Amino acid sequence: MDLEQFWNLMEHARGRATDATDAEDIADMAVALLAAHEPQQIIDAQQILWDLMAASYQAPLWAAAYVINGGCSDDGFDYFRGWLIAQGRTAFEQVIADADQLADLPVVRAAAAEGIDLENEQTLNIAWNAYKAATGEELPGDAFTINYPALDPAWSFDFEDDSKIAARLPRIAALYLG
């Protein structure tokens, strides 16, 4: 499995989900679809997932997640990025290029209006669950690596500082702080 195939799998899962904005349902569909692949492809999908997690490990995105979810721990940021991956390739790539573009996503606008947190831990377990379903065994723990980049020190400020958030993420601030 390569990156293109992974994103195609996620899009297919989104298409099969009852609600294409329900990240848990998308993750469940992705597990079912991935479990039909060869074990090595499932392992490859796990590496791709963690490569995407590393690519999205960015301070601006963490700040946006903090504002959107009313706080964001390390685990919470993982779950937020899991939710973002479930939104599909286009949304993911737009948002990692500019975290403020989250404000343009209809699901984020709806969540802001309803006061709903955006996170999904299940996305992080897609390959684990698919491998178990396909083989009856646990995914080998050494089958993937995680290499997070350093966070941008320019974003090393208290994410509760509304004025700094508004200056750097004006559309997110308008939705959540305005």
**What whole-number distance in Å separates Cα of residue 174 and Cα of residue 178?**
5
Give the chain's mean pLDDT: 96
| Res 48: pLDDT | 98
| Res 141: pLDDT | 86
Phi, psi (rounded to 5 degrees) for 156: -85, 75
Residue 24 contacts residue 102 (beta carbons within 8 Å): no
The residues near 8 (Cβ < 8 Å, ≥ 6 apart) are: none
- Taking only the tens place, the pLDDT of each residue in 21-41 is 899 999 999 999 999 999 999
Instruction: Tell me the pTM.
Output: 0.96
| Res 91: pLDDT | 97
**What whole-number distance in Å separates Cα of residue 1 and Cα of residue 6?**
7
Question: What average pLDDT does this structure show over 37-57?
Answer: 97
Question: What average pLDDT does this structure show over 58-70?
Answer: 98
- Taking only the tens place, the pLDDT of each residue in 99-138 is 999 999 999 999 999 999 999 999 999 999 999 999 999 9
- Taking only the tens place, the pLDDT of each residue in 71-87 is 999 999 999 999 999 99
**What whole-number distance in Å separates Cα of residue 160 and Cα of residue 122?**
28
